[in-house]
Amino acid sequence: MTNGSVVIFDLEYTAWEGSNERDWSHPGEFREIVQIGAISIDGVSLEEQEVFDCFVRPRINPDLSDYFINLTGITNEDVKRHGVDLSDAHRHFSDFLQKRLAFAYGNDDEIMAENVALYDLVLGAPNISAVNLRHWFKDHNVPTDDYVSGEVAQFVGAPINLSAHNAVNDVRSIIAAVKHLVGQGAENPFTQIS
């Protein structure tokens, strides 16, 4: 069982028309992280505590595709003005985690590790690992293959209306969906981890 706060995080990463369906298999397509969003919550009350929001400058494809910009609302100017290198973003995110248990809706921790390997980074902090909340949602009849993290709250009927494909908004969608399902009698996924 977790005690205290936990962290839920989400990533936005480079994409092109059809890249998800073809699993980023075309030449030059990589899932380079562009935004890390995370929120710490009280693992029992599910109340929000702190927010982490960081833009990351992609190295291989530094110019974002029109598809990505239209999907996320994140612009090249946002990344150039506010973005940091992945090594700095990873360090800041590790500091934010403070050894708290991390959760994600999917394999975002693997995508983070993929980026670290892609850039051949030597990190001062260990790779991030996370508990995949998709399994918990599937156990509660959420068709997770049909709904991304930013849509899961709407699917379960949680009272939240935020634009999907912004990492912080997507985390808020996950939290709202968990709260809604727990309020309907589901077990709290954050108190089930030993």
Q: What is the CATH number of the domain that holds 81?
A: 3.30.420.10
Please check the confidence at residue 143 and state whether its pLDDT lies above 80: yes
Name the band, by pLDDT with cuts 50, 70 and 90, for residue 123.
low
Cα gap 63→180, rounded to integer Å: 38
Name the band, by pLDDT with cuts 50, 70 and 90, for residue 3.
low
Computed over its alpha carbons, how large is the radius of gyration of the chain? 16
**Residue 48 domain flag:** yes
| Residue pLDDT, tens place only, 15-40 | 999 999 999 999 999 999 999 999 99
Cα gap 145→157, rounded to integer Å: 18
- Tally of structural domains, the chain: 1
* Inter-CA distances, 29 with 7, 56, 61, 64, Å: 29, 17, 8, 11
Name the band, by pLDDT with cuts 50, 70 and 90, for residue 125.
low
Question: Closest by alpha carbon to 35, among 77, 79, 70?
Answer: 79
At residue 80, the pLDDT reads 97
At residue 119, the pLDDT reads 84
Name the band, by pLDDT with cuts 50, 70 and 90, for residue 65.
very high
Q: Hey, is 23 helix, strand or coil? A: coil
Residue 163, domain extent: 5-183
**Residue 104 domain flag:** yes
The residue with tokens 């930013």 is 150
At residue 99, the pLDDT reads 87
Please check the confidence at residue 108 and state whether its pLDDT lies above 90: yes
Question: Closest by alpha carbon to 10, among 43, 45, 47, 36?
Answer: 36
Q: Hey, is 131 helix, strand or coil? A: strand
Please check the confidence at residue 1 and state whether its pLDDT lies above 60: no
**Residue 158 domain flag:** yes
What integer is the mean pLDDT of 114-131? 81
**Residue 191 domain flag:** no
Against a cut of 0.85, is the pTM above it? yes
At residue 128, the pLDDT reads 86
**Residue 194 domain flag:** no
**Residue 107 domain flag:** yes
| Residue pLDDT, tens place only, 145-189 | 999 999 999 999 998 989 999 999 999 999 999 999 999 999 999
105 and 145 Cβ atoms separated by less than 8 Å: no
**Residue 193 domain flag:** no
Percentage of the chain beyond pLDDT 70 is 95
**Residue 192 domain flag:** no
Average pLDDT taken over every residue of the chain: 93
